[in-house]
A and B are shown apart, each in its own frame.
Chain A
Amino acid sequence: ELKVEQNPLFLSMQEGKNYTIYCNYSTTSDRLYWYRQDPGKSLESLFVLLSNGAVKQEGRLMASLDTKARLSTLHITAAVHDLSATYFCAVDIRGYQKVTFGTGTKLQVIP
């Protein structure tokens, strides 16, 4: 059974600071996703990572994937209040069509 763990579960940080969210998964995966969810809203896709060493950046967010360590990171640079949300990683295995989500990291950026 594929398990996905995120840490921390809750993160409170000041504006302007840097921080990293970690996502570990238990078995070999073909795809790793990062999503953002605002309170009471749906999920918005941020990144899809496919291969070992993949790195993608969008604004103040950068995601990377290490398939050998079964680890993905979401790095936040110089956080701003607008980044406050819950961030989920999710993984799946080609052919199984069962995307498994982590428990999420609730990020609160304090002015």
Chain B
Amino acid sequence: DGGITQSPKYLFRKEGQNVTLSCEQNLNHDAMYWYRQDPGQGLRLIYYSQIVNDFQKGDIAEGYSVSREKKESFPLTVTSAQKNPTAFYLCATEDSRSSYNSPLHFGNGTRLTVT
């Protein structure tokens, strides 16, 4: 069953700790994205990757890091340098080689709470 798996669904951390959010996909999509959503707001792009071993900063990359060692995986690390890490994090993929008519596909998200 093809899809995007984000884990864990809920994550609690103490301030000052780094934390890694997992995103795995078996859709064979080339492009992967991380977005952050704050309550009552839209999505803001953190990082994106179009191919393995390559990724670019989005609009709010400070305090975050990513890696893309495999096509299927795009983990996001929220570092202690991120001032307000509590948010809902969404991973998305896109089949960038197919029809330009294809949308982004989203995982179910990870809700991170830092206290």
> A residues engaging B (CB < 8 A)?
4, 30-31, 33, 35, 41-45, 48, 50, 88, 90, 94, 97-104, 106
Contact = CB atoms under 8 A, between A and B. Distances in A.
Interface string B87-111: 0001000101000111111111100
Contact of B104 (A99, A103, A106): A99
Contacts of A41: 108-109
B103 A97 contact: no
Nearest to A33: B103
18 contacts: A33-B103, A33-B104, A41-B108, A42-B106, A42-B107, A43-B43, A48-B101, A88-B42, A88-B43, A94-B100, A97-B94, A99-B45, A101-B43, A101-B44, A103-B41, A103-B42, A104-B40, A106-B40
A101 B102 CA distance: 16
Contacts of A35: 103
A4 B100 CA distance: 20
